[in-house]
Chain A
């Protein structure tokens, strides 16, 4: 029993439990000594609230950062963007003025019970495929905030609307056209149960390169990655991806996702130790790619060269890091 990671979860999902069991980890209850706790958002809030005063010991890790619950909902993005913007102003960054949305994505946020609103630019000529609007579901793992180390799962996907897009304002009332969350789509009449209207991101890439060309597509993905990193820096991320699987393919995807996530977060299945050097070796990444590694980015040039030659970094080709790796890192300065 000594040396085996002890895990707890309050989310009964097979994609999680199967991954824990296959590593030979031991299930315990939350009152016992545990090393790894996959918590629901509610639990995080309770456990790490100011009143509870709970502190993790050196051999414990959880699946969300302690203050994450506070920072992951769209209504709290306001506070963080304000704070981030102040920091940027100090740095003299032009970002302080700009809206941080990219060309093809949109976020629609407003909370009626807050005084300050964050309203993102609504784009009324979005990119359509087959006449339909779609959004991107990308999985990003943040292993540390300081220094910022994040990974993007290569197998993200896009979700399509079942209904054709029309820009007329009366359609704004039609929930099915504009909101693409699977949960809502399922109740639309056209929902196809066999595949839930999804494409892999690599498929999207193939389509865009074929119809629009390589440069435009690469630029698009670069900008998306850039936005993600900026958002993380403002700590504005949805902490709880849905772990419910709607199709068999979906289940497989999420199983593999959790598997790769655990490999990075708990390398070699060893009991967590906060004094680890947390930059994992390339082999462990699985389907994740380094999105941004602050240490690498700010490290000395030689070190970066060495890393980018061996490691995987994002760009049109993962692993073709000689050019694309460096290009990514330099555009964000």
Chain B
């Protein structure tokens, strides 16, 4: 009991600490001062009266949402004496692996820099600044010569690193047994099995209404959809983050999705947020970064060629270029196993006073990175709002898909979860694919790294991301990947090569995500 209490007070202290520096805090303070003018606030019962005022005016709700947001994002402290790197990643071998991977990425970036004789950053001459400002809304029409630039890394490079991960304290033994994991990932992390997943994703059960299934044309809307929409509207009018997160587990109605996501992510688009975005835009105009070219190249290679997202090409530049310059993103490295690359002012190598993070937000984009932003363009068309939503999605979820960690939503765990599900529940398929040299993870890895963006139809992708938000976890990506294999199992059993297996799984655009998930979790014999 005592331990729990002290844990709780530690958490409260940490959250208070975090919120004290926030905008909300100063707003609450102002509101409290202003409320003293009100007749119902009496000196004798000052504290209670102000609390009551906050409750009625909706400020308590805002505070509640902020606290809830902190709880969702910030990992709970394991031990008060735990050093900061444990918050990033508790396992030493994982931290080391991430460190080496980062060194490789930086080396690759630096050598590209040297080869092309392009500085990592330079100030734009005034003429160039003016030009860029003029075509801010149509940067897609620019055709800079990007042929010499290569993406710093692609998902398959990252997969190779994960395959070689080993826990030095774990002795597998040479003999194969039924316990032997036959997949590519060879580290012993705990992953859920289907009974545990069923408990976790209980709202996806067969007897519970879902958007993505129970709103299809054959089902009368009175059965589920109308009521669900009504509840959604109520949740929005109450402006309750926690309720929204619970609600969205059953999917979001199209018309309410933009607001619901903003509520869950606790994004409210204040004037200072718009100003902050404009400031970032100014930074983009004034300075050119090498990563800008990487971003351009990525957008041109991926989103511009996508059937759904090509329309939003210009928005993608506006978001990603600003993102690179946003130093507020650096705070998420406290709980990210990755660390921002450090660079030094010319001639001052090794001197900490002259160290800068590069890029300013510490995130080096890889091939396909822009696909994290693209689906959001279907929901938000105001650039600063779009930007805020993306940034929050990144620091809550997406960063876990390209850093090495033991977190249950980290890419390593997702890969292991995927492989374990396949091996346990579709052993024949798994064994067959392995025999023909088509390890399933080699095909599904790219889906998970991109959170399926660009592989599913947009409406299906949004239904999937609803559940990511609803369950505050990326595990559903691994479950879906396994469900896709289960769905195409018959065809896959007949292929005899990796290329043929890839072909069977090349086109996911016709898949309906929710029925697949439901069947895999709740209608498969375990």
Contacts and interface: CB of A to CB of B under 8 A. Distances in A.
Contacts of A195: 305-307, 310
Contacts of A318: 217
A85 interface: no
Contacts of B253: 214
Interface stretch (A31-39, A43-51, A199-207): A199-207
Q: Most chain-A Cβ atoms within 10 A of its Cβ — which of B217, B254, B379, B458?
A: B254
Nearest to B307: A195
B489 interface: no
A169 interface: no
Contact of B314 (A131, A210, A213, A317): A131
B138 A164 contact: yes
Given A203-B308, A206-B458, A130 B378 contact: no
A211 B314 CA distance: 18
Interface of A: 129-132, 160, 163-164, 190, 192, 194-195, 197-199, 202-203, 206-207, 209-211, 213-214, 217, 249, 317-320, 322
Interface string B181-220: 0000000000000000000000000000000000001101
Contacts of B47: none
A211 B381 contact: yes
B274 interface: no
Contacts of B81: none
A314 to B, nearest CB: 12
Contacts of A130: 311-315, 377
Nearest to B252: A210
B310 A249 contact: no
B402 interface: no
B307 A249 contact: yes
A320 B255 contact: no
Interface string B250-284: 00011101100000000000000000000000000
Output the residue of B137, B141, B381 with the most chain A CB within 10 A.
B381
B258 A194 contact: no
Interface string B290-317: 0000000000000011111011111100
A214 B254 contact: yes
Main secondary structure of the interface of B (DSSP, over half): helix
Which one of B220, B257, B310 has the greatest number of beta carbons of chain A within 10 Å? B310
Interface centre among B312, B313, B378 (most CB of A within 10 A): B378
Contact of A214 (B255, B377, B458): B255
A199 B379 contact: no
Given A163-B141, A206-B378, A213-B255, 4 more contacts: A132-B311, A195-B306, A207-B378, A320-B220
Contacts of B307: 195, 198-199, 249
B380 to A, nearest CB: 8
A194 B305 contact: yes
Given A131-B137, A210-B378, A192 B310 contact: yes
A129 B313 CA distance: 11
Contacts of A198: 307
8 cross-chain pairs, A with B, having the tightest CB-CB distances, nearest first: A130-B311, A319-B217, A214-B255, A209-B254, A164-B138, A213-B255, A130-B312, A210-B379
Contact of B220 (A199, A203, A209, A322): A322
A129 B378 CA distance: 10
A319 B218 contact: yes
Contacts of B220: 320, 322
Interface string B420-448: 00000000000000000000000000000
A322 to B, nearest CB: 7
Contacts of A207: 378
**Of A131, A213, A319, which is in contact with the most chain B CB atoms at under 10 Å from its CB?**
A131
A333 B254 CA distance: 31
A202 B459 CA distance: 9
Nearest to B304: A192
Contact of B258 (A132, A197, A211, A214): A211
B75 interface: no
29 contacts: A130-B315, A131-B137, A132-B311, A160-B311, A163-B141, A192-B310, A195-B306, A195-B307, A199-B308, A199-B311, A202-B459, A203-B458, A206-B462, A209-B254, A210-B255, A210-B257, A210-B378, A210-B379, A211-B258, A211-B379, A211-B380, A213-B255, A214-B254, A214-B255, A217-B255, A317-B221, A318-B217, A319-B218, A322-B220
Contacts of A192: 304-305, 310
Interface in B446-478: 458-459, 462
A320 B310 CA distance: 32
Nearest to A198: B307
A199 B381 CA distance: 17
Interface string B123-151: 00000000000000110010000000000
Contacts of B462: 206, 210
A125 to B, nearest CB: 15
A310 B318 CA distance: 49
A210 B254 contact: yes
Nearest to B229: A214
Contacts of A214: 253-255
Nearest to B313: A130
A85 B53 CA distance: 64
Nearest to A160: B311
A194 B306 CA distance: 9
B255 A209 contact: yes
Contacts of B312: 130
Contacts of A249: 307
A320 B224 CA distance: 14
B311 A129 contact: yes
Contacts of A160: 311
B305 A317 contact: no
B393 to A, nearest CB: 16
Contacts of B141: 163-164, 190
Given A164-B137, A206-B458, A210-B258, A320 B217 contact: yes
A78 B218 CA distance: 43
Given A210-B258, A210-B378, A197 B308 contact: no
B459 A206 contact: yes
A229 to B, nearest CB: 22
A130 B459 CA distance: 18
A104 to B, nearest CB: 16
Interface string B309-337: 01111110000000000000000000000
A163 B140 CA distance: 10
A293 to B, nearest CB: 19
Contacts of B217: 317-320
Given A317-B217, A320-B221, A131 B138 contact: yes
Interface string B369-393: 0000000011111000000000000
Contacts of B221: 317, 320
B377 to A, nearest CB: 8
A271 B255 CA distance: 47
A326 B316 CA distance: 42
B43 to A, nearest CB: 47
Contacts of B310: 192, 195, 197
A206 B254 contact: yes
